[in-house]
Amino acid sequence: MVTNRVKPRMSIACFFGPTEDTIVAPLPTLIDEKNPPLYKATKFADYLHNFSTSGLLPNRGTLDFVRI
């Protein structure tokens, strides 16, 4: 399917994320005794570092890095 057969279209990928010093954590309103957090709070910079260095090694996945 073509969206417009008359004019060419240009797509640009944009990536946005929090600043490196942002703490990424579960929302407090979603956590209680029945629903404890599954992942620990972490600085986004630490998450990015782990993501970029873990590769495809077993037991070094991004979720394993922050799993409680």
**What's the rounded mean pLDDT across residues 12-37?**
91
Domain boundaries, the chain: 23-66
What pLDDT does residue 6 have?
83
Asked if 36 contacts 67 with a C-beta cutoff of 8 angstroms, the reply is no
Label residue 41 by pLDDT band (50, 70, 90): very high
Label residue 15 by pLDDT band (50, 70, 90): confident
What pLDDT does residue 1 have?
61
Label residue 8 by pLDDT band (50, 70, 90): confident
pTM across the whole model: 0.63
Give the alpha-carbon dihedral of 60, 63, 49, 56, to 10 degrees.
40
